[in-house]
Chain A
């Protein structure tokens, strides 16, 4: 924590330095390795159908990303980190729009693209071809 009235404070006393957490980093590391190991195990054992398996590993990734935000980046709503947290929350819709909508749109095109070609009526070229 710095004193705003002191122009040359010790940089090591800054809240950004002092927020480093041994327990947090080790927890983040352990959680990530263990849960990615679990993800590897369930995909290799083929215990689930493809669709539920995809949902499970996607949920696992989202859980790990949230855990890393808290344990690695130290995001919270304290006055030192609130703007990082807010800017991330405001960026999340952009991730959803850019990845989710793009993939959904092209997957919706899939059945159209896979239609058999009718005699004398060639398929229109698209960006996928």
Chain B
């Protein structure tokens, strides 16, 4: 039986030919969220590699993880990264009312605290290099450096992103494109706090247990 036999009046279109207005902020933030999940899977791979190589046998005669990590010193990094994330998050609270000075103050504070975090990480790496604990010493140390430095690299790109956004706020104001970028950066920056929780607990705190 013909499916249209009982239909009265004009047939509804099978598809809509005209342009459909999408919500650019929602679609781009969801897209960026999906990117962050794939980025999280990169970290999952690095944590898996670290979990496998963090064995005394893989220290290859070099220093073990307990001699490498200093969780009390790394707690300052924890404070720095979380304060930076809080500062940027508060910038987006100021964004709700279009408070440009509030947004800029939050971003600048986030940059400063982010630079402090990266500086502390470089200082930590320099002290490890000074005692001969270089990435080529053992598989365990290679996995340690790659994992921690990948997070540090994310922090550096986040700082760069903020530096790029500041002139855009001055030049374009809070238009749809700039607001979308600010929101995606919030997601990216808060994600660094979540990754650092895993790094601090499973590398620094767990390292002292062994």
Contacts from A to B (Cβ < 8 Å): 2, 4, 7, 11-12, 14-18, 20-22, 25-26, 28-29, 32-33, 36-37, 39-40, 43-44, 50, 53-54, 57-58, 60-61, 64-65, 68-69, 72-73, 80, 83-84, 87-88, 91, 94-95, 98-99, 102-103, 106, 110, 113-114, 128
Q: Which residues of B contact A84 (CB under 8 A)?
A: 30, 33
With A25-B93, A32-B82 as known contacts, state yes or no: A91 contacts B41, CB within 8 Å.
Answer: yes
Cα distance A25–B193 in the bound complex, in angstroms: 12
Cα distance A22–B98 in the bound complex, in angstroms: 15
Interface residue tally of chain B, by bracket? 35 or more
> Do the beta carbons of B57 and A128 come within 8 Å of each other?
yes
Whether B21 sits at the interface, judged by CB under 8 Å, is yes
- Chain B, residues 38-79, CB within 8 Å of chain A (1/0): the string is 001100110111011001011000000000000110010011
Q: Which residues of A contact B126 (CB under 8 A)?
A: none
For the residues of B in contact with A, the DSSP-based class is: helix
Cα distance A112–B26 in the bound complex, in angstroms: 52
With A72-B193, A99-B48, A99-B51 as known contacts, state yes or no: A113 contacts B57, CB within 8 Å.
Answer: yes
Q: Which residues of B contact A39 (CB under 8 A)?
A: 200-201, 205
Number of A-B contacts (CB under 8 A): 149
> Do the beta carbons of B21 and A4 come within 8 Å of each other?
yes
- Chain B, residues 85-101, CB within 8 Å of chain A (1/0): the string is 11001101101111000
With A40-B75, A95-B40 as known contacts, state yes or no: A20 contacts B93, CB within 8 Å.
Answer: yes
> Do the beta carbons of B205 and A72 come within 8 Å of each other?
no
